[in-house]
Amino acid sequence: MILGGGCFWCTEAIFKDLKGVEQVVSGYAGGYEGGNAPGHPTYKEVCSGRTGHAEVVQITYDDAVLDAETLLEIFMTTHDPTTLNRQGADVGTMYRSVIFYQNEAEKELAEKVVQKMKPLFDDPIVTEITAYTNFYVAEDYHQNYFANNPAQGYCNMVIHPKVQKFKKRYQELLKN
C-alpha cells in the first residue's frame, strides 16, 4: 500500500509501530516520468514542486494480522485529509493527501473508507485516490527518520506529539 499524508517522516513513524506491518519505506510517488525529473527524483527536486511527486510511504504488511481497511482508517485519522496540498506548516503538492491503488479492489476499498470517514470531519475530504504509476525510494537519510533523529526540532515539535496521540488512540494495534 502506498499512502501520502504530508511529510513522510510523520507517516512512517505512525505505521512502523503497528502489528502486522513488516516494512515502511519512505519515498516519492505520483510524479512525472521524465520532464523535470527524469529517472529517480531527488528530495530537492520533489520539494521544488516541479516533479508532481508526493512524499509517501510504501507499507508492506501481513493481511492476516492487519487488514487494508484498518490501515486506511488509521491513515485517514492520523493526518488531516481535508487540507489540499498541505499538512500543518508543510505546504505544496508534495504534501498532498493521497492513496495510490494498484487494482480495482484497492480503489473500491479506498473509496469506501473515504466515504466512511466523511462524518468525522467538518470540512470535505480532499484525499486523492489515484492509480499507482511509480514509486521511488527516498534517500537513505529519510528512512526511519524519527527513530534516528529523536532530538531534531521537527521530530520533537511535530512528529513526537503526533505519534503519542496515535499510540494512545490505537494502543491495541501496536507492536509490543
* Options 7, 10, 47, 155, the catalytic residue: 7
* Residue 31 contacts residue 134 (beta carbons within 8 Å): yes
Q: Is 10 a catalytic residue?
A: no
Instruction: Name every residue whose Cβ is closer than 8 Å to that of residue 55 and which is 6 or more positions away in sequence.
Output: 4, 6, 7, 8, 11, 26, 27, 28, 46, 94, 95, 138
Q: What share of the chain is helix, strand, coil (3-state, %, to 5)?
A: 40, 25, 35
What positions carry a catalytic annotation? Answer: 7
